[in-house]
Amino acid sequence: MALFLSTFINKIDKKGRVSVPASFRTTLSVGQANSSDESSFSGIVVFRSLKHPALEGCSVERMQRLSKSIDSLDMFSDAQDDLVAAIFADSQLLTFDSEGRVSIPEDFLKFAGLVDQVAFVGRGATFQLWDPIVFQKVQEDARARLKREGPAVRLSLGERGT
């Protein structure tokens, strides 16, 4: 499984291009190499977050898994229609250029308030793109909540029981 870790802040150039962190590109290429999909897409998938002023990012393989999950909903249900419209119809395939950059569409830049910099925020199987200052506040609030309420995480046992 692909694992996106850490937070990286990169500059956005005047053409809306930004370098995807090298560790994220490596994670994406390893996931693609392990995929049975014959697609040769080299890049990221992004769509507008349904919860935050940020962009959600992931691999094509993750989107395929999400598609299967949504397909399990009742066909033509409001829930299925809403998820398809809000996620798949909004998603953009952003291809890496020769320098590992992607071009973020103008409407996505505006949605997430991205101007000069973008924070690539690892979220395990996915990642998000944030305005660095906005994300710093979100992260501080999350830490304060966890300190106050305590985390409630149960680790699942892996194949080796670790």
pLDDT tens sequence across 120-137: 999 999 999 999 999 999
Q: Give, to the nearest 10 degrees, the angle between helix 22-34 and helix 60-71.
A: 60
**CA 108 to mean position of chain CA atoms:** 13
Which pair of tokens denotes residue 1? 């499984």
∠ CA 50-55-56 to the nearest 5 degrees? 75
Structural domain includes residue 1: no
Residue 153 has pLDDT above 50, yes or no: yes
Residue 41 is predicted with a pLDDT of 87
Mean pLDDT of 76-100: 91
For range 47-56, the mean pLDDT: 97
Q: Locate 85 and state its tokens.
A: 């419209």
Question: Residue 80 is part of which domain span?
Answer: 7-149
Pairwise CA distance, residues 45 & 32, whole Å: 13
Residue 51 counted as domain residue: yes
Q: What is the mean pLDDT of residues 73-89?
A: 86
- Domains: count for the chain: 1
**CATH at residue 84:** 3.40.1550.20
3-state secondary structure 80-112: HHHHHHHHHCCCEEEECCCCCEEECCHHHHHHH
Residue that wins the pLDDT comparison between 142 and 71: 142
Predicted pLDDT of residue 38:
46
* Residue 159 within a domain: no
Residues 150 and 162 sit within 8 Å (Cβ to Cβ) = no
